[in-house]
Structure 1
Amino acid sequence: MASTLRVAIIGGGIGGLTLALALRERGLTADVYEQTPQLTEIGAAVALTANATRELERIGLGDRLAAASTTPEELIHRHWRDGARIAAHPVHSGSWYRNRFQAPVHGIRRAQLQVILSSALAAGTLHLGYRLVGLTERPDGLVLGFSAGDTAHADVVVGADGIRSTVRRWVAGDDHEIYSGTSGFRGIVPVDRLPGLPDPQSIQFWTGPGAHLLHYPIGPTGDSVNFLAVVEGPRTWARTDGWVDDVAADEPLRAFHGWHPAATAMIGAVTHAVRWGLFAVRPLPRWHRGRAVLLGDAAHAMLPHQGQGANTTVEDAFTLAALLAQVPDTIELPSAFATYQALRRGRTRRIQRLSWLTNALLHLPDGAAADERNRALARLPQEIAWIHEHDVQATLRRRTERLARSGPAPTT
């Protein structure tokens, strides 16, 4: 029996929009409620990897994504001071990445990705300027209360509303965000303003004592570079109302004093007014309560050092959509949510932990520990292949086959 659930998605970012499309593919219509009056994404750009692009290609967005994106030539790690290559691995070169993982990697502006996703939605399903302030449970569903006084009614509410999720507070309570003790400076710089940058068409990590610089090409021609410069500190995050704080314009360059000129030229090409606190969400005991369920950063926000925040969110969306499409009525929702949590929580926790540990490894001073890390970087494609080769549909098929052989498996 086809599902007739009324689904409300809170949050019009990558996760919310992708879930709406994934549900539409399965025959379900969802309403997306976004608090801002126009779609805006946190951060400047995103690298979509195979574990996400294989799903987005499958629903017909591959050509549009490719036209708006750049595929990096290589993945390179460099020494902070002299710029020497520590390790390098092909990506686009020789079609290595696509051949290995059967899907591409794309560097794309978040705003452009949002346009691609939102333009594929069913007409009238995206509602802007709706800030959720409360949920009320009734026997026939959940009532959503918005800041302007509007209400809506749904059988299912999905919290895709980010690290400071209102839905998560309803599902799991408060105080799940954790500050990493690190912060970052972001920017996009035209390549022609960086004449001393080696290999501008590659994704690169410059790693050094107490800091690192990540950058990769974006856009249809790779004519710009998106960067994130990460530093230790401040020790505590003073702002309790957000993850962005004011910064002195010269502080980013001071943090990278003595680094290679290509690195400092990139950071110095942008006027920095803010720094971004890097937060994660502590592992949650549960991702769902009643008819509400969490997705993406609301459930498992992670540090950006594996580039998997957006990609695991896309995985969540297609997994949840497939399970909801199999629910004939609301009585089956608890089972579907428990299965979703069982399929997703272990994997995302593992990536969360790896991303947290990676920060310290990238910030080692020169010495024996850094030498050991550098030897490990030579094996990086093998070490992280499990992240990129993940296939949502294959995982769902294996679950179906297991159930057919032995009946329902434990979901907790």
Structure 2
Amino acid sequence: MKAVIAGGGIGGLTAALCFHKFGWDVELCEQAAEIREIGAGIQISPNGMQVLRALELDQQIEAIGFRPRASQLRMGKSGRPIVTASTQAYEARFGAPYLHIYRPDLISVLKDVVLDRLPQAIKTGVAVTGYGQNDREAWLTLDNGLKCNGDIIVGADGIRSTIRAQMIGQDKPDFTGNTAWRAVVPVSKLGRNCPLPVSSIWLGEGKHAVTYLLRGGQLANFVGVVERDDWKNERWTERGDKADALADFAGWHPVVTTLLEQADEHYRWALFDRAPLDQWAEGRAVLLGDACHPMLPFMAQGAAQAIEDGYVLARNLAEQNDHKNALDRYFALRQKRTAKIQAAARANMSIFHQRSSAGKLTTFGPMWLADKFKPDIADDRLDWVYGFDVTAE
């Protein structure tokens, strides 16, 4: 059996390795001339690491990542901690570590392993224009006039998915009123204002920032989200001006402002929300990752959920003789979970951005008290996300 995958990002490459694990042949089509990623940090939580461990990639991933000591909520200007949760205990609690990864490093590892295990699987420089199928096979149509044929078509082609558009039509995302800034800076440029070896969420009025370390502590990652409606471009490769980024976080803690000051490049993109889909498949074509459940970044689960998708999809297709039953089961196993995480990310957006003193007191006060008297309460609330192991179902 053969899977043909559209998209060479984290979801597509992981899906290729999952299909290979379960005995399938794979062909992956990527429109870029070279599979690579723009610089940015991501977080791989224990639920995602369980899949990477099942694919025998965990040691390579850990070697290029960073293990934070804790996760924190802090006030953006004063830096005062509200909640601190140890992430070093996650492996014992959830069965796998929590890592920070530089996107280009993760893509490089995944690509190299795909090429090692499936030497002829990746085709680059070919843009997918659509798909076709009959009762025996399915195929991707490419911009060069050729086709890639297989038994199943997997749309892992991201938030602007060509496969999804053909399957269910163009989506109509809702602008959240938020714009995100992104930057990565060598820690050697930050001096005493380098972020601590923890994942920190800095809270402010109508905005928040996230900082953490990457690549063994050599790089510092910054993401800042600001409520504003003067920028509605969803492409996350658009550069912005340093002055605008600094103005958005003027008066904030020096860890935040120093990162922005020392960054050579400042990227920004508008955040749009999408309702969960009630269809992920049509015949022999199926969606995965951002193509079917794009997520706001406030749960740090976009990559982990795409990784989970690949494993569940490949396993169900390998275990079921009928592709329709397999794809129906994949949807049943994944849609409710991903929709719940989408909703949780949406809720966090409003929690982080309290503007009034009363809102801050009623929201952050109970968090601070809980952290003092029951410090593991934050972990309890994450059990359903981090403790979920798709490889053990």
TM-score (norm 1): 0.88
Report the RMSD for the aligned CA atoms in angstroms.
Answer: 1.8
Q: Does 1:35 align with 2:31?
A: yes
User: Does the 8 Å contact 2:183/2:267 carry over to 1?
Assistant: no
User: Does the 8 Å contact 1:209/1:365 carry over to 2?
Assistant: yes
Partner of 2:251: 258
User: Does the 8 Å contact 1:279/1:301 carry over to 2?
Assistant: no
User: Does the 8 Å contact 1:210/1:365 carry over to 2?
Assistant: yes
Partner of 2:379: 381
Partner of 2:51: 55
Partner of 1:232: 227
Give, in whole Å, the separation in 1 of the partners of 2:240 and 2:184: 18
Give, in whole Å, the separation in 1 of the partners of 2:3 and 2:245: 44
User: Does the 8 Å contact 2:185/2:221 carry over to 1?
Assistant: yes
User: Does the 8 Å contact 1:244/1:277 carry over to 2?
Assistant: no
Q: Deviations over 1:264-286 (max 9, x none)?
A: 11122214454112234321120
TM-score (norm 2): 0.92
Cα drift, residue 368 of structure 1 = 2.3
How many residue pairs are counted as aligned between the two chains?
382
2:346 to 313, 337, 356: 356
Give, in whole Å, the separation in 1 of the partners of 2:63 and 2:309: 25
Q: Deviations over 1:71-107 (max 9, x none)?
A: 0011111111111111111112xxx111111101111
Partner of 2:19: 23
**Aligned to 1:267, what secondary structure does the other structure show?**
helix
Give, in whole Å, the separation in 2 of the partners of 1:99 and 1:132: 43
Range with greater deviation from structure 2 (248-257 or 337-346) = 248-257
Give, in whole Å, the separation in 1 of the partners of 2:40 and 2:155: 23
Give, in whole Å, the separation in 2 of the partners of 1:302 and 1:19: 19
User: Does the 8 Å contact 1:176/1:282 carry over to 2?
Assistant: no
Partner of 2:203: 207
Give, in whole Å, the separation in 2 of the partners of 1:61 and 1:223: 22
Q: Deviations over 1:230-255 (max 9, x none)?
A: 11122662x48x45545333111111
Letter in structure 2 aligned against 1:110? R
Partner of 1:333: 323
TM alignment of 1:94-243, pairs within 5 A: 96-121=89-114, 122-197=118-193, 200-219=196-215, 221-234=216-229, 237=232, 239=233, 242-243=235-236
Give, in whole Å, the separation in 2 of the partners of 1:246 and 1:192: 23
**Aligned to 1:188, what secondary structure does the other structure show?**
strand
User: Does the 8 Å contact 2:177/2:228 carry over to 1?
Assistant: yes
Partner of 2:392: 394
Structure 2 CA distance for partners of 1:151 and 1:214, relative to 1, 3 Å? same
Partner of 1:404: none
Give, in whole Å, the separation in 1 of the partners of 2:308 and 2:174: 23
**Aligned to 2:74, what secondary structure does the other structure show?**
strand
Cα drift, residue 143 of structure 1 = 3.0
2:336 to 321, 346, 354: 346
Cα drift, residue 41 of structure 1 = 2.7
User: Does the 8 Å contact 1:205/1:214 carry over to 2?
Assistant: yes
Q: Structure 2: where are the runs of 5+ without partners? A: 372-376
Letter in structure 2 aligned against 1:365? R
State the percentage of identical aligned residues: 32
**Aligned to 1:83, what secondary structure does the other structure show?**
coil
